Each structure stands twice: as C-alpha cells, then as structure tokens.
A and B are shown apart, each in its own frame.
Chain A
C-alpha cells in the first residue's frame, strides 16, 4: 500500500487540476447522497413505527369501526371506552399486578446480586476466580430452551410450579449483568479502595459507600435492561404457570387474543396498556440503554 502513496497523491492532484467539473458534480453528489440517506432512514423508521401508530390509533376505535372492510386508518369516532371495558371483561388489573410483581422483584434482586458478583470478580483475586468467570460466560451460550425441560421438572419437584416463587426464582441473577458490572467496576482505581482500607473500612463498607455511588449509571442501565427483559418474559411463565390467576401480561394478551379474536378493539387497548410502561421508561432513559449496549455489546 505504501508504494502506492505517490501514485495516489498524483491521482488526486491530477483530478483536482483537470477542471472544476468533477468537484461541482461531487458537491451535487453529496447533496443527492444526503437526501437519499434521509429518504432511506425515514422510510425504515416509518416501517418500524407503523405497527405502533396503527395500534395506538386503533385502540380508540369502536368495535364496529374495527370490523370494517377495508380498514380505516384514523378513528372516526374516537372513544376511550375500550380502555375501561378491558378491565371489566377480563381480570386485566390482576394480570398487570402479576407482571409488576414478577418484574420488579427479580429486577431489584438481580441488580443487587449482579453488582456484588461483578465487584467480586473485578476487584479481588481468589482461588478459582477465572475458571468460575469463564464458566459463567460460557453458559451465556447455552440456549435457554436446552434447560427449560429439566428446569420445569426441578421446579415441579420443589412444588414451585404455578407459584409466584417459581416465576421469580429463575430471574434472580444474570450472566450478562455480572459481566456488565464487572466491566464497569474494573475502571474504579484500586488506589481509591486501598485508601479506604487504610482508614480501616471493611470490604462491605467499601462496596456500599464507595463502589455503589460510583457505578450509578451502570445500576440504572442494568435496572432498565433487567426490567424490560422480565416485563416481556414469555417462555418460562408459559411453562411454569397454567392458572389464570398467575398469568402475566405477555401470557394473558396472546391468550385473550386467541379466545376473543373478534374483540380486536379490546385487544388493542390491552396491548397498548401492556407495552406503555416499557415504552415510557425507554423514552426517558434512552441514554442508559445505549450505554448498556455499548458496554455489553462490545468486546471486553
């Protein structure tokens, strides 16, 4: 490549010299390129957002309007009654509560266990540390489906099928969470921790009062990731729960949709209410999602 340096600089010199034409053309080319970029990105964004837009618009339509052929796009007589009727026809409040319980508890516990484990792996040397860490990273590759059947059998033996405990217990820690926390905590200088040790602080006090305040952004990121994950959890709840009383939203809405397909107006309102918390959460905390992806998505 270095041998070409001369010829390529010569090339560009020649090109600049020839005439003003190509320079002008490339300016127009740049503008056209920009316009094209906007068109492509906008079209893509419309396709991404269209299902949401249609969902939102349709959840304000009456049952008559929703059954029209061809379908309408904007609601003719917008109504809020769908949102009320959902609560009357199905135990929607109960499903919502189930979702909150089975998302909030695992999220809180996971953030605690993962930040502790991340600290342990990042800032201490102990026998078997590296082996254990690699085992955890390697199991990230194990497909969840490979474990569900035996997991179900284990839970059935422990009497945890069809209980909140059974839903919660599988989500009390996560490999990616431990990994992310470790990456964050490796950046804390050892000198800082040593200074506290010299002052006589115990390891747990160091963790509580020095480390935790320093990794607040990581905690926020992990809280969001874990919560979003649990809010959408489908496969394990589907296996673990067969009582209607314990159904979470990701189970209840497809079930409802299968049972009452003709009440699409209610299904839409229910779907919108079910995804609203994560959408709103995301709108306000985008920054943390991007940060989290940048940390866990990149190589160490």
Chain B
C-alpha cells in the first residue's frame, strides 16, 4: 500500500538511473529475505525431505547403493521392544517435567508479581540455569548426584531420607534426570509468565475487589483465564522440547542404567551413529515428528480458544 504511494521516480535524472531505481525497488524484498530463508530452509526443510526419503531405504553411509525397502524400517521399528521402552521413557520424562515445571514457574511468577522486593535479583537467580549450557550443567549435576562425594546425598540425609545412587540405580535414574530438567527450565517459563502477568490491567483486580472478590477468586476468574494463551504457548513448546530431550540424558546417564533413561532421541542417535542404520533412524525421527505433531494439534484443539475481556 505504502509502496504504491511512493513510486515517485526521480525522473529529472537520466533514464538509466530511473531503471536502477525501479530494479532495486522490485528486487529489494527478495534480496532481503534470501540469505535468511535459504540458510534456514537448507538445514530444516531439505533434510526433512531427505530424511523422509531415507526412511524408505536400507540406508547405510558406507555402502555405495541404498536399496529401497518400502515400509520395512517402520515395521522393524514397531516390532522393536527397545523402541517402545524409549517411547515409554520419553513419555515418563514429559509427564514428570512439564506439569510440575509449569506449576512452579507460575507460582514463582505470581509471588514475584505481588510486589516483592528484589524481584530483579530473584528473576536473575531463577534464570541462571536457563543460560547455562545444558551439557555442562549435566556435568555439574553428575557430581552433585555422586553417591559419596556429592552434596545431594548430604541434603537428603539432612532431611532424614535414605541416600541413593541417584544416576546409577535404574529405579532412581529417571527421577534424577527429571529433577535436573525442571531445575534448568523453570526460569524461562517464569519470565514468560511474569511478562504476561504484567500485561493484565490493574483495573480488573480493582473492579473485582470492589465486588468483594477475594484473592483466590481474583486468581481463579481473572488471572488464570487471562493467562490461558501464555499457558498454551508454554505447554505446547514445553511438550515439544520434552519429546526431544537428549543432551541432558546423554551426559547424565548415557541412556542407562539398563536403558532406564533411554529416550527416543538417544535411541535414534544410537541406531544412526552407533549401528549406522540411517534408514531406521530416519524412520524413528519421523515417527517422533508425527507424535509431536498430533499432540500439538490436540493441545491447540482443546485449549486453543482465546480468552479476551476487552
């Protein structure tokens, strides 16, 4: 619209200058988006299509030919008990991390929003784990969890519970991974919630107070409904990222002990770079992608209705 209004050519100059002016004007949008879009699609869409193609082949990088095998990789995958174990572990991880992390993030955000002093300082502390490289955080936690030298067992004993081999015991390994994941992700979600809370007009609460609504009523009927889009956003992105967990698990446990923390991505990794079964690994990637897509669509469908009080 604005572009039409401004096609005021510098006609007083020569014709070549005018041509150049028109050319740069017409080509500018494409030139602007070209590098960003090409670099991005080159490492997303292109591998995705390649991966889909690979998943129908018995693909091995060492062999010169890659025979077409149809759905054999998918069939093999669904018959593989370890794949289902990885699936189950991923689901356990997701259920263990996402709800608790969201509730804690919301709780902290609400408390920080009540006019507490040192809000910025607290926000800083909660955000520190978010910016720490995850694999290095995992190294720190490996040592914190160390049965003898780690501080975690000291705290556990102080509270009066029994010390454990947190990462070495199949019964506790997943719990320990989940704890680190919650620790590392609360800060980000808390800041998102905090930003949303600050966007709720004070007048809503004042009106509610005049009507005699208590704190709980205000939370239940004003805060929570108005936070719904934020909650949906956090939920969807948290579930997506929880299904892709890898780095944390790989450093903390390497998928062990006894596959107790083997998740889908670590299994993809193992099949691709351990066994060189690239076709099978690509098929697994697509199953994972499909699952994430379905879950995301379900979440949109059931929670996606926008709430506005305007």
Among residues of B, the one whose C-beta sits closest to the C-beta of A7 is: B212
Among residues of A, the one whose C-beta sits closest to the C-beta of B150 is: A71
**Chain B contact residues, majority secondary structure:** helix
In chain B between 130 and 150, which residues have their CB closer than 8 angstroms to a CB of chain A? 131-144, 148-150
A174 touching B40, Cβ below 8 Å? yes
Instruction: Judge if A215 is at the interface, Cβ distance under 8 Å.
Output: no
Q: Which listed residue (B45, B136, B265) contacts A249, Cβ 8 A?
A: B136
Min CB distance A65 to B, Å, is 11
Inter-chain CA distance A40–B107, complex, in Å, is 9
Instruction: Judge if B151 is at the interface, Cβ distance under 8 Å.
Output: yes
A275 touching B136, Cβ below 8 Å? yes
- A71 touching B154 in the complex, CB below 8 Å, given contacts A136-B37, A149-B51: yes
B192 touching A293, Cβ below 8 Å? yes
Inter-chain CA distance A5–B208, complex, in Å, is 11
Interface centre among B47, B108, B120 (most CB of A within 10 A): B47
- Number of chain A interface residues as a range: 35 or more
Instruction: Judge if B159 is at the interface, Cβ distance under 8 Å.
Output: no
Cβ contacts A266-300/B at 8 Å (1 or 0 each) = 01100100110011001100100110011001110
Instruction: Judge if A183 is at the interface, Cβ distance under 8 Å.
Output: no
Min CB distance A188 to B, Å, is 11
In chain A between 203 and 260, which residues have their CB closer than 8 angstroms to a CB of chain B? 203-204, 207, 228, 231-232, 234-235, 238-239, 249-251, 253-254, 257
Inter-chain CA distance A240–B230, complex, in Å, is 36
Residues of chain B lying within 8 A (CB to CB) of residue A48: 125-126, 128-129, 183, 186-187
- A147 touching B51 in the complex, CB below 8 Å, given contacts A234-B135, A264-B149: yes
Min CB distance A168 to B, Å, is 11
B196 touching A298, Cβ below 8 Å? yes
Residues of chain A lying within 8 A (CB to CB) of residue B31: 204
Instruction: Judge if A86 is at the interface, Cβ distance under 8 Å.
Output: no
B25 touching A141, Cβ below 8 Å? no
Residues of chain A lying within 8 A (CB to CB) of residue B38: 173
A151 touching B47, Cβ below 8 Å? yes
A149 touching B268, Cβ below 8 Å? yes
Instruction: Judge if A202 is at the interface, Cβ distance under 8 Å.
Output: yes
Inter-chain CA distance A90–B70, complex, in Å, is 48
B2 touching A193, Cβ below 8 Å? yes
B212 touching A9, Cβ below 8 Å? yes
Among residues of A, the one whose C-beta sits closest to the C-beta of B248 is: A234
Residues of chain A lying within 8 A (CB to CB) of residue B114: 34, 37
At the interface with chain A, which of B91-99, B166-174, B279-287?
Answer: B279-287
Instruction: Judge if B195 is at the interface, Cβ distance under 8 Å.
Output: yes
Residues of chain A lying within 8 A (CB to CB) of residue B65: none
B133 touching A231, Cβ below 8 Å? yes
A173 touching B39, Cβ below 8 Å? yes
Inter-chain CA distance A263–B271, complex, in Å, is 32
In chain A between 140 and 165, which residues have their CB closer than 8 angstroms to a CB of chain B? 141-154, 156
Min CB distance B176 to A, Å, is 13
Inter-chain CA distance A44–B112, complex, in Å, is 12
Residues of chain B lying within 8 A (CB to CB) of residue A126: 29-30
In chain B between 1 and 55, which residues have their CB closer than 8 angstroms to a CB of chain A? 1-3, 5-6, 8, 10, 21, 24-25, 28-33, 35-41, 43-48, 50-51, 54
Cβ contacts A122-138/B at 8 Å (1 or 0 each) = 00111001001001100
Instruction: Judge if B235 is at the interface, Cβ distance under 8 Å.
Output: no
Q: Which listed residue (A70, A174, A234) contacts B133, Cβ 8 A?
A: A234
Min CB distance B250 to A, Å, is 8
Inter-chain CA distance A5–B211, complex, in Å, is 7
Residues of chain B lying within 8 A (CB to CB) of residue A141: 240, 292-293, 296
A147 touching B285, Cβ below 8 Å? yes
Residues of chain A lying within 8 A (CB to CB) of residue B137: 51
Among residues of B, the one whose C-beta sits closest to the C-beta of A26 is: B214
Residues of chain A lying within 8 A (CB to CB) of residue B229: 299
B47 touching A145, Cβ below 8 Å? no
Instruction: Judge if A87 is at the interface, Cβ distance under 8 Å.
Output: no
Inter-chain CA distance A193–B2, complex, in Å, is 9
Min CB distance A148 to B, Å, is 8
B212 touching A11, Cβ below 8 Å? yes
B133 touching A232, Cβ below 8 Å? yes
Residues of chain B lying within 8 A (CB to CB) of residue A50: 151
Among residues of A, the one whose C-beta sits closest to the C-beta of B9 is: A200
Residues of chain B lying within 8 A (CB to CB) of residue A231: 133
Min CB distance B102 to A, Å, is 14
Among residues of A, the one whose C-beta sits closest to the C-beta of B51 is: A150
Inter-chain CA distance A51–B152, complex, in Å, is 10
Inter-chain CA distance A193–B32, complex, in Å, is 15
Shortest 10 CB-CB contacts between residues of A and residues of B: A117-B36, A232-B133, A120-B32, A12-B212, A203-B28, A124-B29, A173-B39, A120-B33, A150-B51, A113-B36
Binding site for B on A (CB under 8 A): 5, 8-9, 11-12, 15, 34, 37-38, 40-41, 44-45, 47-52, 54-55, 66-71, 73, 109, 112-114, 116-121, 124-126, 129, 132, 135-136, 139, 141-154, 156, 169-170, 172-175, 177-178, 190-191, 193-194, 197-198, 200, 202-204, 207, 228, 231-232, 234-235, 238-239, 249-251, 253-254, 257, 264, 267-268, 271, 274-275, 278-279, 282-283, 286, 289-290, 293-294, 297-299
The contact sample of 13 A-B pairs, CB cut-off 8 A, is A52-B128, A113-B35, A120-B28, A141-B296, A144-B244, A146-B286, A147-B51, A148-B285, A149-B285, A231-B133, A234-B247, A251-B135, A289-B191
- Given contact pairs A12-B212, A142-B48, enumerate 9 new A-B contacts (beta carbons under 8 Å): A5-B211, A120-B29, A143-B288, A149-B282, A232-B133, A232-B136, A279-B128, A293-B195, A298-B199
